[in-house]
């Protein structure tokens, strides 16, 4: 049971001008499942490794349960970590792998035995305790790595993309298992992933990073509904939001002949901070309807239809200000348009997002 606090924590790799993690401020509550998400190279893994003590902290502090651990070695932090490639000890059996940390702490034998058996039961590994890692499948290895963390009963779980080496089906299954397990154990968890679906489905809160800078931290629902800037808007959600920077009229953002309305406050904010006469507007593929030619939709020429069974996504282009702009919209899978056909896309009322064209911030 513990809280974790990053306080202006920075990591600057020697010989690089830009910090890998730049003044990260983050409060993680007791028992919370926090997901760090972002594109590769955004500093999410580095942030996690700083918390683990595997990476130096060049500035700022990291606290676990209000205890400053910034310069403590990993073993003094009472954390357990699951690595992307599992890093199982290849010469030890599954049992020995899970017992290793407890043995190092000189835990009594019967206590080790109890905890390992308990974790093995939780993860359905009882039949494999005597096996070496090389005799296990990828999913089983992943569970052993989880088990190794669970038996520790640590203050904080750290997970560095633990699912990215599993195949797609197993990943979805294990995803829900981990979330259930975490809820049951109630141990504060920091989870790193590049997959926004994992982030949305698993996290109590999600922290989005880009270039070492925290962009937004909020519940998955709030991230989806109210992205703080253009990057978060484009990163969360699949397929990605349609985001275009368009001319500003006195009513809103103009997509050719169609205007997506903005409030008076939004219009003022769009012109501030060097926004000029342009505004960045986004709407999600799922927040649209295909309408008739005279119903105020944006006309796009279909050039690809993706059938997913439950949905179909229609990709198309339209010339705006002499430039071909691509749009993706969700359509009824039983009534998909043909290629080269012109369809009319109308976003649902008040579901579009507006950002300042210069700063990229939500307005």
- What is the smallest separation between the CB atom of 100 and another protein, expressed in angstroms? 6
Measured from the CB atom, is 87 or 172 closer to another protein? 87
Does 170 bind another protein (CB under 8 A)? Our answer is no
Dist CA 219 CA 227 (whole Å): 11
Does 86 bind another protein (CB under 8 A)? Our answer is yes
Stretch that binds another protein, among 30-38, 46-54, 111-119, 307-315 (CB under 8 A): 46-54
Binding marks (x or -) toward another protein, 127..166, rule CB under 8 A? -----xxxxx-x--x------x---x-----x------x-
Total interface residues for another protein by CB under 8 A: 33
Interacting residues with another protein between 277 and 336 (CB under 8 A): none
CA dist list (Å): 208 to 145, 187, 313, 319: 26, 22, 26, 32
Measured from the CB atom, is 131 or 278 closer to another protein? 131
Q: Select the residue interacting with another protein from 62, 81, 228, 298 (CB under 8 A).
A: 81
Q: Select the residue interacting with another protein from 18, 71, 91, 221 (CB under 8 A).
A: 91
Does 219 bind another protein (CB under 8 A)? Our answer is no
Dist CA 163 CA 149 (whole Å): 15
Does 342 bind another protein (CB under 8 A)? Our answer is no
- What is the smallest separation between the CB atom of 17 and another protein, expressed in angstroms? 21
Neighbouring-strand partners of residue 299: 344
3-state secondary structure the chain: CCCEEEEEEEECCCCCCCCCEEEEEEEECCCCEEEEECCCCCCHHHHHHHHHCCCCCCEEEEEECCEECCCCCHHHCCEEEECCCCCCCCCCCHHHHHHHHHHHCCCCHHHHHHHHHHHHHHCCCHHHCCCCHHHCCHHHHHHHHHHHHHCCCCCEEEEECCCCCCCHHHHHHHHHHHHHHHHHHCCEEEEEECCHHHHHHHCCEEEEEECCEEEEEECHHHHHHCCCEHHHHHHCCCCCCEEEEEEECCCEEEECCEEEECCHHHHHHHHCCCCCCEEEEEECHHHEEEECCCCCCEEEEEEEEEECCCCEEEEEEEEECCEEEEEEEEECCCCCCCCCCEEEEEECCCCCEEEECCCCEEC
Does 17 bind another protein (CB under 8 A)? Our answer is no
- What is the smallest separation between the CB atom of 13 and another protein, expressed in angstroms? 13
Measured from the CB atom, is 121 or 135 closer to another protein? 135
Does 14 bind another protein (CB under 8 A)? Our answer is no
Measured from the CB atom, is 41 or 261 closer to another protein? 41
Does 104 bind another protein (CB under 8 A)? Our answer is yes
Angle (deg, nearest 10), helices 168-185 and 138-150: 10
- What is the smallest separation between the CB atom of 335 and another protein, expressed in angstroms? 42
Stretch that binds another protein, among 52-60, 214-222, 255-263, 303-311 (CB under 8 A): 52-60
Does 227 bind another protein (CB under 8 A)? Our answer is no
Dist CA 363 CA 357 (whole Å): 10
Stretch that binds another protein, among 78-86, 117-125, 175-183, 231-239 (CB under 8 A): 78-86
- What is the smallest separation between the CB atom of 84 and another protein, expressed in angstroms? 7
Does 89 bind another protein (CB under 8 A)? Our answer is yes
- What is the smallest separation between the CB atom of 111 and another protein, expressed in angstroms? 15
Measured from the CB atom, is 191 or 235 closer to another protein? 191
Does 115 bind another protein (CB under 8 A)? Our answer is no
- Name which of 92, 116, 123, 118 is nearest 102 in CA terms: 116
Binding site for another protein (CB under 8 A): 52-54, 73-75, 79-81, 83-91, 100-101, 104-105, 132-136, 138, 141, 148, 152, 158, 165
């Amino acid at each position: 049971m513990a809280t974790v606090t990053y306080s202006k924590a920075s990591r600057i790799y020697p010989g690089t001008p830009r910090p890998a993690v730049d003044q990260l401020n983050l409060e993680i509550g007791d028992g919370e499942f926090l997901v760090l998400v972002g594109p590769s190279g955004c500093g999410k893994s580095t942030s996690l490794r700083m918390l683990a003590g595997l990476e130096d902290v060049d500035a700022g502090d990291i606290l676990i349960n209000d205890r400053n651990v910034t310069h403590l070695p990993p073993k003094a932090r009472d954390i357990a970590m699951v690595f992307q490639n599992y890093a199982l000890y290849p010469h030890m059996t599954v049992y020995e792998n899970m017992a290793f940390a407890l043995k190092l702490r000189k835990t009594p034998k019967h206590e080790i035995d109890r905890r390992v058996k308990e974790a093995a039961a939780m993860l359905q590994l009882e039949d494999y305790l005597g096996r070496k890692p090389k005799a296990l499948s990828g999913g089983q290895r992943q569970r052993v790595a989880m088990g190794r963390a669970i038996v520790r009963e640590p203050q904080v779980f750290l997970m560095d993309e633990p699912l990215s080496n599993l195949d797609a089906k197993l990943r979805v299954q294990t995803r829900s298992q981990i979330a259930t397990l975490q809820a049951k154990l109630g141990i504060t968890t920091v989870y790193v992933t590049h997959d926004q679906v994992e982030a949305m489905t698993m996290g109590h809160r999600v922290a989005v990073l880009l270039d070492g800078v925290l962009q937004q931290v909020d519940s998955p629902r709030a991230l989806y509904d109210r992205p703080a800037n253009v990057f978060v808007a484009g990163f969360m959600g699949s397929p990605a939001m349609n985001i275009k920077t368009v001319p500003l009229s006195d009513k809103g953002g103009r997509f050719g002949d169609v205007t997506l309305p903005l409030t008076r406050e939004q219009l003022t904010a769009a012109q501030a901070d060097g926004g000029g006469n342009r505004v960045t507007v986004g709407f999600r593929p799922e927040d649209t309807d295909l309408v008739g030619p005279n119903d105020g939709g944006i006309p796009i020429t279909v050039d690809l239809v993706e059938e997913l069974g439950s949905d179909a996504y229609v990709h198309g282009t339209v010339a705006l200000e002499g430039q071909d702009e691509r749009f993706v919209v969700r359509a009824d899978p039983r009534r998909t348009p043909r290629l080269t056909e012109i369809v009319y896309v109308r976003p649902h009322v008040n579901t579009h997002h507006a950002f300042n064209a210069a700063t990229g911030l939500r307005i």
